[in-house]
Amino acid sequence: MADFQIRLLLNVAFRVFTAFITCTVGALTGIITGAIKGQRMETGIVRGAGVGAVSGAIIALQVVDMIANGEPFSKGRQESASIGFVCLT
In terms of pLDDT, which residue wins out, 49 or 71? 49
- pTM higher than 0.75, yes or no? no
Model confidence pLDDT, tens digit, residues 3-59: 888 999 998 898 888 888 888 888 888 888 888 888 888 778 888 888 888 888 888
What are the boundaries of each domain within the chain? 2-82
Q: 12-33: string of b/e by CB count within 10 Å (b at 16+)?
A: eeeeeeeeeebbeebbebbbeb
Helices (H) and strands (E) in the chain, counts: 3, 0
In terms of pLDDT, which residue wins out, 79 or 10? 10
